[in-house]
Structure 1
Amino acid sequence: MFKFTSSEIRDLLIAFFVISLCFSIANVGRDVNGIIQMLPIVMVGVGLGFILHELGHKFVSMKYGYWAEFKLWPQGLIFALITSFFGFVFAAPGAVYTYANYMTDEINGKISIAGPIVNIILALAFLAVAALVYESAFTSQTSLLIFIVCATGYSINSFLAAFNLLPIGNLDGSKVLRWNFGIWIVIMAIAAALTFASMTIGVENIVRLILGY
């Protein structure tokens, strides 16, 4: 059964808010009014991206019969906040801890890859919605807001997928790589391509290419 402890819910909410704040600062700098305006937009992308990423780990862990719980890493939150003032976010607010006496590399890899796959799916979903509302965004404020939210959601989720798949330290990529190099390289290539496109071409131009403009 999918269960949460009260401390886990608290940690998820704290991490969700602080990481949303970090991405807002990274996008607009130290402009307080800009941060306030950006925060609700970022919360949608980060909220779905971060929460569902962690729930992906938790769901697969519990599917294999393990108890799994998200725990906050305060030092990671502080570091993320510091890096945001330099225009990027080193997002390591915490992790889902799986409690098991023994776990194979395969199971550990499958648990680890669940989070990045969730982010890739969300990025593509955000991109699809952005394409659907693009034309009406020129004449409708509501459609424009949806497009901005989806563009931000695409950028953030593609970045979260690529970042977490890096094979360093305790990030997901290290465990996936230890399990299966082929799967890691394919998923990493997809996440990296989505992130690269976001950073170079831009979401609006990606949408225009999809629509054939």
Structure 2
Amino acid sequence: MVEYTKVEIRDLIIAFIALTICFSIATAGLNAHAFISCLPIVIVGVAIGSVLHELGHKFVAMKYGCQAEFKLWPLGLLIAFVTSFFGVVFASPASINIHPGDIDDEVSGKISIAGPMANMVLALIFIAIAALIYPFKIYSNIFNLIYLISTVGFSVNSFLATFNLFPIYSLDGTKVLKWNIGIWIITIAIGGIMVLISITIGAENMVSLLIGA
């Protein structure tokens, strides 16, 4: 069983609320009505993505006999908030402290990559759900809501995965790159493509193309 300390739970809640606000701003801008309307949709993508990201780190850390502690990164929260006003959220609200700290680069890299990989897999699951729901969304508000949640979930988790793979400061990418440059290139390239699709084509248009194909 994966256990969290009271401090980790507090930091997870703060990070979750902050990311929800940031992605809502990035989606709706300063339109108050649109902001409130998109909150439920963003919450699902952010909540599931954030939790699975951290669970990914913890599960792999436990596999190698280590512990991974979720610790809030205030500067990361500030960056996420500022960039949200430009329609893109560079999100890294926390760092993962691994104990013991003297593990080798391979173990450290595998623990670090687990979080972004969880987001990538979740993003693909979301877009698959959106594609399945697409033909039925016009018949029910519930189906339409699930469709919207899924498209936003794809975009949010693509951003979370890719940004965390950047090799800067305490982001996951730093340790992944140090462990294996080839794996880092492949994973950040996949994440980058997913983000590019989200920005240029858009998740909804991507679903339409998939259905059309």
TM class, shorter-chain normalised?
A: over 0.9
Q: Which amino acid aligns with 2:83?
A: T
Match of 2:207 in 1: 207
Runs of 4+ in structure 1 deviating by more than 6 angstroms, as ranges, are none
Structure 1 position 101, deviation (Å): 4.1
Matched, 1:165 2:165: yes
CA 194–111 in structure 1, closer or farther in 2 if over 3 Å, else same: same
Structure 1 position 155, deviation (Å): 0.6
Determine if contact 2:95/2:171 at 8 Å carries over to the other structure.
no
**1:35-54 per-position Cα deviation (integer Å, ceiling 9, x unaligned):** 11111110111111112111
After superposition, the CA RMSD in angstroms is 1.4
Match of 2:109 in 1: 109
Q: Identify which range, 196-205 or 123-132, moves more after superposition.
A: 196-205
Counterparts of 1:96 and 1:124, CA distance in 2: 24
**1:43-90 per-position Cα deviation (integer Å, ceiling 9, x unaligned):** 111111112111211221122111221111233223322322232222
Counterparts of 2:204 and 2:80, CA distance in 1: 27
Match of 2:75 in 1: 75
Determine if contact 1:26/1:85 at 8 Å carries over to the other structure.
yes
Q: How many residue pairs are counted as aligned between the two chains?
A: 213
**Normalization by structure 2: what TM-score?**
0.94
Counterparts of 1:130 and 1:160, CA distance in 2: 19
Counterparts of 1:11 and 1:101, CA distance in 2: 21
Q: Which amino acid aligns with 1:178?
A: K
Q: Which amino acid aligns with 1:202?
A: G
Calculate percent identity across the aligned residue pairs.
54
Matched, 1:179 2:179: yes
Q: Identify which range, 120-129 or 70-79, moves more after superposition.
A: 70-79
Structure 1 position 205, deviation (Å): 2.1
Give the alignment of 1:37-186 within 5 angstroms: 37-186=37-186
Match of 1:6 in 2: 6
Q: Identify which range, 129-138 or 74-83, moves more after superposition.
A: 74-83
Counterparts of 1:76 and 1:186, CA distance in 2: 25
Q: Identify which range, 150-159 or 87-96, moves more after superposition.
A: 87-96
User: What SS does the corresponding residue of 2:103 show, helix, strand or coil?
Assistant: coil
Q: Which amino acid aligns with 1:129?
A: I
Counterparts of 1:77 and 1:186, CA distance in 2: 27
Match of 1:16 in 2: 16
Structure 1 position 211, deviation (Å): 1.9
Counterparts of 1:81 and 1:156, CA distance in 2: 14
Counterparts of 1:154 and 1:45, CA distance in 2: 8
**Normalization by structure 1: what TM-score?**
0.94
Structure 2: state its 5+ residue gaps. Answer: none
Q: Which amino acid aligns with 1:138?
A: I
